Amino acid sequence: MSWHQVNAALGGVVIALGLWLMWGDLAVMLIAAIALLAAGMLAWASTSIAALWGWATAILGLESLAWPIATMVRIRLASPEPTEEDMGLILTAVLFGLFSSIFWLTFSYGIFKKLRERQDESRKGREISGP
């Protein structure tokens, strides 16, 4: 097993844990299937470990952004008028979800930016040295 596959498996677990934290009541088998699917997609789509973690953190950021929306929809479907406890749950989801999504999306952006700079440097190095 290569380091790329190990990191893909860990990235899949991170994505699945993010979904589990967001929904909370998903079946364990569904979480495991999501982890395996995410690990497979990360291993297939990324060419390096940095790109793999860039995608994993980007997906985690999108999950964090979707958490407050999913919480509001779930509460709205449960009852026409939210209780005070439900409003506190929405406030928590909005505050932590937005903070977390900004953090993870910014982290992902930094990984992709650094990866792009390395690719540009190596491309320039090949152009200077010639064929």
Rounded mean pLDDT of the chain?
Answer: 90
Q: Does residue 31 contact residue 13 with C-beta atoms inside 8 Å?
A: no
pTM: 0.85
- Give me the pLDDT at residue 91, please: 94
Question: Domain of 16?
Answer: 3-129
The most distant pair of C-alpha atoms in the chain lies apart, rounded to whole Å, by 70
* Amino acid at residue number 67: W
Please report, rounded to a whole number, the percentage of residues in the chain having pLDDT higher than 70.
96
pLDDT band at 123 (very low <50, low <70, confident <90, very high): confident
SS3 48: coil
Burial class (CB in 10 A: 0-12, 13-18, 19+), 97: buried
Per DSSP, 47 falls in state S
pLDDT in tens, 39-91: 999 999 988 999 999 999 999 999 999 999 999 998 999 988 999 999 999 99
- Give me the pLDDT at residue 122, please: 81
Structural domain count, the chain: 1
- Give me the pLDDT at residue 94, please: 94
State whether the Cα torsion 28-30-32-34 is positive or negative. negative
- When pLDDT is averaged across residues 97-126 and rounded to a whole number, the result is 91
Q: Does residue 97 contact residue 68 with C-beta atoms inside 8 Å?
A: yes
Cα(75)–Cα(82) distance, integer angstroms: 7
Q: Which residue in 60, 54, 56, 45 sits closest to 117, CA to CA?
A: 54
